[in-house]
Structures are given as C-alpha cells and as structure tokens.
Amino acid sequence: MKVQVAIIGAGPAGLLLGQLLHKAGVEAIIVEARSPDYVLGRIRAGVLEQVAVDLLDAAGVGARMHAEGLPHRGFSLLIDGARRRIDLHGLTGGKQVMVYGQTELTRDLMDARQNAGLPTVYEASKVSVHDFDTGHPRVRYEKDGAAHEIECDFIAGCDGFHGVCRASVPKSAITHFERVYPFGWLGLLSETPPVSDELLYVKHQRGFALCSMRSHTRSRYYLQCALSESVEQWSDERFWDELRRRLDAQTAASLVTGAAIEKSIAPLRSFVAEPLRFGRLFLAGDAAHIVPPTGAKGLNLAASDVRYLSRALIDFYAGSNEGIDRYSERCLKRIWKAERFSWSMTMLLHRFPETNAFDQKALEAELDYLVHSVAGQTTIAENYVGLPFTD
Ligand code: RFL
Ligand code: PHB
C-alpha cells in the first residue's frame, strides 16, 4: 500500500500525530506491535501541561478530558516532614496543569481514530523501516503470518524507547546522551480517595515518595525502591506501611488504603538522542528521549515533539520544507530544558545510596533555598507547568 506518512507506534505520540495529520488532510497509517488492550494496560503518566491539553483540543479529542480531568493550581513538597506548597497558578500568572491519566488520553485518541475509520495495524510483528535516506521510504511488517510493505513519503518513529526506528539509524549518524539512576519507582494504583487534594512529592531519609491521583476516587502512589527489588516482594500491606513511614504523621493518619489494581516497577533514566531527523525518518516522544518521571515531563515532551512534527509535515504538503528542516533543532531546545528540570528534581528529592556527603549537603541546601525563595519557587513552577514555545 501507499500512504503519505507511516507512523510506527500507537502510544500517545503516534496516536496524537495521526489525529492532527488527519485533521489537516494528511493521510497516515499507524503500525503498532502490541494489542490495543496491552497499550491501554500500561499505567503511566498523570499530569498534562497546557501544551498537551491544547493539542488534544486541536485534535478534537479534549471533551472527556475537560469533563473528567482535574485542573490543579499547585502541588506540595514534603521535605523531611515539612510541607511547602508550590502555587503554580500564582507564580506563573495563572497557569495550571491537568491531572488526566495517560490511559484515558490514549483511549480518547484510539476511539477518535476508530470513529474516523483511520487505518491502524495492531499486533504487527517484525516491523522494519527502510530507505529513509531516499525519497521513497518503506515500512515492512508481518501480520497473521502474512508479509506487508508500506510505501510512504515519511516515517514517524513514535515507537518508544525500545522501538525499531532509532535502532535502525546508522551508529555514526546518531549521538546518545544518557544517565541511569541507581533506583526505580514502585507504583501502585488503588480505588481509594487521594490522601491530598493536590500532588505531594516527598523527600525522606527512607527515600522519595509521590502521592498522585487519577480521580477523586482513584489514587496513584509511588515509592523509590532498589533496582534489585521485584513487585512480588511488595505486598499491598508492605507498600502502605512504607508509604506511611515516608509521610508526616497527619498525612499518614488520613491515608486510605485498599487493594492494588496495578503495581509495577519502573527504572529511572535520562536519555536524549541527537539529531531527531534522518532523511525522511523523524523520531518523536520516548523514541527520542526519556526523562525520569519526577518532573512529570515525558508525555508532555512527546506532545511537544508532535506539535512540531505535525506542523512540519502539514507545511511540507503545503509547499514549505522549513518545518522538517528545523524539526530537530526546535525540539531539542525544549527537550534539553525538560531533561534538565527532570534531572534536577530527581537529584533533589531522591536518596542516592552512593552520593558523597558533601554533594548530599549541597543538594539539601539547594532544595532549602529553592523552596524558601520566591525566585526559586517560580523556577520550579515555570518548569512544572511547561516552558513557553519560542517558535
Ligand atoms: P510509548 O507510550 O512508549 O509508545 C510507543 C509505542 O510504540 C510501540 N512499539 C512498536 N510499534 C511497532 N513496532 C515496533 N518495533 C515497536 N516498538 C514499540 C509500543 O508498543 C508503544 O505502544 O511512547 P510515546 O508515545 O512517545 O509516549 C511517551 C509516554 O508514554 C511517556 O513519556 C510517559 O508515560 C512518561 N511519564 C510521564 N509523563 C508525563 O508527561 N507526566 C507524567 O506524570 C508521567 N508519569 C511517566 C510517568 C512514565 C512512567 N513510566 C512507567 C516510565 C510515570 C511513570 C511511572
Ligand atoms: C502520576 O500520577 O503517575 C505521576 C504524577 C506526577 C509525576 C509522575 C507520575 O511526576
């Protein structure tokens, strides 16, 4: 078959790109390795910046998010027992974030795609990308034992960190920047009311914790854990006990516990690939970069890449190469700022088993400065709600 754009991956980046292209009359097919249920079963992000909210509106899929999502005007830090609120709204001239699960957003995009009758191949195996250094790229895959080939003008690599697109680029053409952290996040989802109206990021001697939510009746909690630990070692009871230990007495006393609906461990990593364009192949989202979740930036960065990529491709079909030529440079400017913020929040709030005592003290002083200075709080707030687009 022949199509203008072949999108690899039906995560938030691929689905959002497909919807924005469709709205502009550019045709695309999405090829996804997994089933829809598998994609929806991955419990991940919960916090959307205004940029992601605006893009979902532009894609025509924002209605349920506005009805069911929870706008948040601030969040709190609990630092060794002392609570400090970051007034996002007050410090940024009226900005806020939206708490709306990645699962819900993905479901909205999947439904819109299905209702519009747009082509998506789920459970494709042996997906491979070819000839993207020529004017005639191709995508090959197998489905139900039969081999298929797509001829296209462009390939959008939205296939996540372990995808095939970045891995298909010649090693000499790409540079990787990476930092791996010596711990993970153990996440638990439960049908219980959140312990706090707003998100609570916790720095404690026993390690980081986060109290988040999906709705007024569904909570998402995380605990910093060792990479050597497995989910099986964490009964629900052990999880709740450990969380209580990392909270202040008042918050711990009001924590409502219940059975876990989902529990998983995610390793923490910072990663950027440069550049993001290789001839007619473009990388977007987690395929191009990873941030540790501490800054709530991963999904938002994917949305920001897709904003640039959708415009670039739409402009190409309207006669301009400017967008595709500047795609990489434009994205990377924003990516590195989000990488910096996520790295900094991770360093400030986690317990590092091997940090030397001097570095530990310096980080504690930095955090103390940030939360007690209006300038410091503003820096956190501006980055958390999302930095403005410069072009
Ligand atoms: P995804 O979601 O990984 O989707 C990629 C898709 O590509 C498919 N795929 C392939 N398809 C075809 N052929 C192949 N060879 C393929 N290989 C892979 C995969 O099956 C998949 O469906 O990447 P995308 O679309 O770029 O989206 C990125 C986000 O998922 C990610 O950045 C966020 O979840 C990160 N994140 C958060 N981001 C935020 O903005 N705010 C948050 O609050 C937030 N919290 C989080 C997070 C990530 C977490 N984990 C688990 C790492 C919390 C956690 C715990
Ligand atoms: C989440 O609700 O899953 C979540 C919220 C904020 C983060 C990371 C994850 O920084």
Q: What is the pLDDT along the chain (391 residues), one digit of tens a residue?
A: 999 999 999 999 999 999 999 999 999 999 999 999 999 988 888 999 998 999 999 999 999 999 999 999 999 999 999 999 999 999 999 999 999 999 999 999 999 999 999 999 999 999 999 999 999 999 999 999 999 999 999 999 999 999 999 999 999 999 999 999 999 999 999 999 999 999 999 999 999 999 999 999 999 999 999 999 999 999 999 999 999 999 999 999 999 999 999 999 999 999 999 999 999 999 999 999 999 999 999 999 999 999 999 999 999 999 999 999 999 999 999 999 999 999 999 999 999 988 889 999 999 999 999 999 999 999 999 999 999 887 7
Active site residue 297: yes
Q: Residues near ligand 2 with C-beta < 6 Å? A: 45-47, 199, 210, 212, 220, 293-294, 296
Give, using CA atoms, the residue closest to atom 30 of ligand 1: 299
Say which amino acid occupies 63.
Answer: A
Q: What is the DSSP letter of 344?
A: H
- Distance from residue 253's CA to the centre of ligand 1 (Å): 34
Please give the radius of gyration of the chain, using alpha carbons only, rounded to the nearest integer: 21
Which residue's structure tokens are 């009001």? 254
Atom from ligand 2 closest to the CA of residue 295: 10
Q: Helical H runs in the chain? A: 12-23, 36-41, 50-58, 63-68, 88-91, 102-115, 236-246, 249-254, 298-317, 322-349, 357-372, 374-385
Three-class secondary structure of residue 271 per DSSP: strand
Q: Ligand 1 within 6 A of 285 CB?
A: yes
**Residue 61 C-alpha from the chain's centroid:** 18
pLDDT of residue 43: 85
Give, using CA atoms, the residue closest to atom 29 of ligand 1: 299
> Given 141, 201, 222, 327, which residue is catalytic?
201
Nearest ligand for residue 201 CA: 2
Give, using CA atoms, the residue closest to atom 26 of ligand 1: 285
pLDDT of residue 354: 83
- Distance from residue 174's CA to the centre of ligand 2 (Å): 30
Element (H, E) at 8: strand 2-8
DSSP state letters, 189-252: EESS--SSSS-EEEE-TT--EEEEESSSS-EEEEEEE-TT--GGG--HHHHHHHHHHHS-HHHH
pLDDT of residue 115: 97
Q: How far apart are CA 148 and CA 126, in angstroms?
A: 10
Contact 145, 126 (CB under 8 A): no
Atom from ligand 1 closest to the CA of residue 302: 26
Active site residue 66: no
pLDDT of residue 391: 77
Is CATH 3.50.50.60 what the domain over 2-72+98-178+269-350 is classified as, yes or no?
A: yes
